Amino acid sequence: MKKGKIIILSGPSGSGKTTISNFLRSKISCLELSISCTTRKKRKHEIHGIDYYFLSRKNFFSKINKCQFLEWEEVYQKQFYGTLKSELHRIWKNNKIVLFDIDVKGGLNIKKQYPNHSYSIFLMVQSIDILKSRLIDRKDENMEKIKMRLKRVEYENNFSHLFDVIVSNNNLLETQKHMLILIKQFLY
């Protein structure tokens, strides 16, 4: 199989990865999101097979045992996330560029496996208070889960220097413009 290009978008929960990834895909038609597997509960607006493949833990572990994941992580306690090898192959086969919305360790893991094919971006938000209010505004999770996500931010920020570029997402429109330029430079 001919290997194509990979864009890795990582950063703490609430940094705006999903919004930015939707924007980039609306502007660059050859980008396709890799749909991850997760054992976390589906949110109201999410659709199986579009946002994630929502799996039972048993099913997730069976895929681990069959070596079907390119990478997987227990991102939060008892919440597993993983990238299927088949996703990467499916997207490359269609001559598209793979976009990963992925946690920091997963992103670095993929970068290590495909160093010459990938461009890795760490999306950063300067203030924990901004992240906190974004997570609260989403109304997806209770306070306990939000605290769990915030606790991980500092840990994830420690890995930021290992990415090809760090982008601060303090102003969404500015960030979108900046990201578009960076990605076009990588692609063309």
Q: Does 73 bind ligand 5GP (CB under 6 A)?
A: yes
Among 6, 8, 16, 17, binds ligand 5GP (CB under 6 A): 17
Give the number of other CB atoms < 10 A from CB of residue 15. Answer: 25
Give the residue with the Cβ less far from ligand 5GP, 7 or 102: 102
Q: Does 83 bind ligand 5GP (CB under 6 A)?
A: yes
Shortest approach of ligand 5GP to residue 129 CB, angstroms?
19
Q: Which amino acid type is present at position 172?
A: L
Q: Which residue is nearest to ligand 5GP (CB)?
A: 106
Q: How far apart are CA 9 and CA 106, in angstroms?
A: 10
Q: How far apart are CA 22 and CA 20, in angstroms?
A: 5
Give the residue with the Cβ less far from ligand 5GP, 97 or 123: 123
Give the residue with the Cβ less far from ligand 5GP, 36 or 175: 36
Q: Does 157 bind ligand 5GP (CB under 6 A)?
A: no
Q: How far apart are CA 176 and CA 184, in angstroms?
A: 12
List contacts with ligand 5GP (CB under 6 A): 13, 17, 36, 40, 71, 73, 75, 81-83, 101-103, 106
